[in-house]
Amino acid sequence: MKGHDEVIVKGFDAVIVKRLSAFVKPYAGVVLVAMIGLFAATVAELVTPVIVQRTIDSNVIPGHFYYRGSAGEPGPLSELLGSAGTIPLDEDRGHWLVAGDRLGVLSGSQKNALSAEGRLGEQEWYVLDRGQLAGGSGRSGDDVLEIIQSRPGLFVPLTRLTGGSARDGYVIKTRDLKVLNSDELLVIRAQDIEGIGRASWVFLVLITASLLSTFVQVYLMALTGQNVMRDIRTALLDHLIHQSMGFLQKTPVGSLVSRCTSDVDTINELFTSVAISFVKDFAIMAGVIVTMFYLNTRLAFITLATLPPIFAATLVFRVKVREVYRRVRMWVARVNAFLSEHISGMEVVQMFGQETRSGGEFNDANRGLLKAQLSEMHVFAVFRPLIDLFTSISTAVILYFGTSMFLDLNVSLGVLFAFINLIQMFYRPVMDFSEKFTIMQSAMAGGERIFDILDQKTCIPSGGPDKEPADIRGDIRFSGVGFSYNEGEQILHSLSFDIRAGETVAIVGYTGAGKTTIANLLTRFWDIQKGGITIDDMPLGDMSLESLRRIIMPVQQDVFLFSGTIAENIALGSGIGRDEVIRAARTVYAHDFIMSLPEGYDTQVRERGSNLSTGQKQLVSFARVIAHNPRIIILDEATGSIDTETERLVQDALAVLLEGRTSIVIAHRLSTIQHADRIFALSGGRLAEEGSHDELLKKRGLYYNLYKLQYQQAGRG
């Protein structure tokens, strides 16, 4: 596993995304609905500029040009005749009115040639055909005819354009519309006003649909992200609680907590802020390009020519921001590590007068973090204005070439307006990439750290059938057991001994002799590398871990209490009733001190039992063991931190506790084990001596030396 302080910085990693997708799979239906919402919102967003373009060209500044030609003859306009944007005046004789925005398919030379042949008029007309003559918006056709008749010089019958028969209607030069007063314009352009109203409603519907679709998409992706976070946290905890002590002791607790909290949070950000945004941003950018080509191919190609610099700038930004982000994360890790270490060890800092030195070291780390964050700010400070510059350049290019094309009738004003909106829409996702890129990097790093933990396979394999304490006699046998925590550092050397059911055996020895290791191996916190351990002639590996740890329960010197009530710490969620909890507490004389607490058994225990004394915590741990009623008990320096008065109470309780059970007592205070049935004296991972207290003193060997040394020290004290 990577070191806990190592900074992992990743760009996009397909392997991590693939592994994360396994957590998303149960919510595939929700994600599909979110993607449909995303698609709907994207389409609505892309359609709005087209609606505006159509409204401008059809209702705000509509204009048609006279054209003479047949739908069957070759030519760039022949395919348009008869479609939207063309009005047949006399289809048999080839007389048409073509909307100005449809002339964009013609090049300048084609327009000149058609004009020279008299087939394309140079005058732009506003048309009043049967629809306009019928009135609209509460006005009758008579109102329209009255205005036409009152201004005979402005309105021209359609028959005059064709020189003969034509459909009913009139035209007026577009530039002459300004001659009319406001009341006349309201009557003449009633259908245009209705068209603008309809377009406004369509626009409102599109905006509403986009809003609702975006809400659905955001809500469902946030829901998916929260569910995925829950599943990953559950998977992490389930994985960690089954790992061996070797893994858990070598991995800092802070690192594991960080994996389960902050690293998982980055995955939520990936779903709620990055994944869906990237999909939408790419969809918007692709949709903008498609829409541009749909509106005008020539202007679309001109616009695309302005985009390569932004792609190059984005690639450079990606490299630069990854480097500065790596430096920021590195310095954040150093600052956090320094604060965690020095705040935890503040007592030592103050005791040795190291406040000034510690402050100076922190200032150095803090300045490093400041420089790294300023570097990150500089990168963004250059990139964001650069995006604005490229946006302005693209807009200027569209205006320059689009205006020329508009004057040459190659593009309508509505199309030009739509292109400006679309280029603004195109650059917004580019800016969004810069905001989301660091989040993606953080999510990739968080994903790698999470899977780095999940890939650690150090769990102790569980054996076969379950056993209940009542089914076990409690015979223990070590046969040639060899064990080392680290390769090349042997702790136990072919250790062999037998412990009979119901027997109390004490294990003593110098520090490092292997006393606690025996307890760790017997409970299978670690697995042996050589030899065998059996309980009632059954190898430990053939017994399930759950049943083994119901049968054997250790009581350690450093008692760990969880946040919760006293009663909950004794029962530990095993379903033990309140009466059994109280009976267990009475057995170890913990009941009186518990009842003296403000809320008795319902008193809340602070973090790690900080509101209880060491002796009180030890008594709670004894009550915990008695309540669970194991067949074998291991006391690992369990009375080492208890005062003499409390120890007398505990010794009386232990006599009741150990009666009829197999017990192993590991102790440095030899006064607490003198009444053990047998005493094992260990030296260098080997069994040096075995016997009762009196027998070992007579041998004048290792135990005698330990006993003599301890009482000499007590005498000097």
At 335-393, the pLDDT tens digits run 877 887 777 778 777 877 778 888 888 898 899 889 888 887 888 788 888 888 888 89
**Res. 717 pLDDT band, cuts 50 70 90:** very low
Amino acid at 43: V
Q: What percent of the chain has a predicted confidence (pLDDT) above 70?
A: 88
Average pLDDT value for residue range 486-491: 83
Token pair for residue 705? 């030396």
- Cα dihedral 163, 169, 174, 179, rounded to 10, equals 110
Q: Which residue has the higher pLDDT, 653 or 694?
A: 694
CA proximity to 418, closest of 401, 407, 397, 402: 402
**Res. 708 pLDDT band, cuts 50 70 90:** confident
Question: HEC string of 56-71?
Answer: HHHHHCCCEEEEECCC
Does residue 435 register a pLDDT over 80? no
Token pair for residue 252? 């800092």
Average pLDDT value for residue range 324-333: 76
Other CB atoms within 10 Å distance of the CB of residue 717: 5
Does residue 555 register a pLDDT over 90? no
State residue 690 phi and psi, 5-degree precision.
Answer: -150, 135
Q: What is the mean pLDDT of the chain?
A: 81
Element (DSSP H or E) covering residue 663: strand 662-666
State residue 406 phi and psi, 5-degree precision.
Answer: -65, -45
Question: HEC string of 403-447?
Answer: HHHHHCCCCCHHHHHHHHHHHHHHHHHHHHHHHHHHHHHHHHHHH
Q: Which residue has the higher pLDDT, 594 or 557?
A: 594
Does residue 169 register a pLDDT over 70? yes
Among 61-70, 123-132, 394-403, where is mean pLDDT lowest? 123-132
pLDDT value of residue 135: 54
pLDDT value of residue 3: 45
Token pair for residue 123? 């005058």
pLDDT value of residue 22: 87
Average pLDDT value for residue range 153-170: 76
**Res. 627 pLDDT band, cuts 50 70 90:** confident
- The size of the chain, in residues, is 717
Does residue 275 register a pLDDT over 50? yes
**Reduced to 3 DSSP states, what percent helix, strand and coil does the chain have, rounded to the nearest 5?**
60, 15, 25
Does residue 326 register a pLDDT over 80? no
Query: Is the entire prediction scored with pTM above 0.95?
Result: no
In the chain, what are the domains? 474-716 (3.40.50.300)
Backbone dihedral region of 497: left (phi > 0), alpha (psi from -120 to 50 degrees) or beta?
beta
Average pLDDT value for residue range 93-109: 78
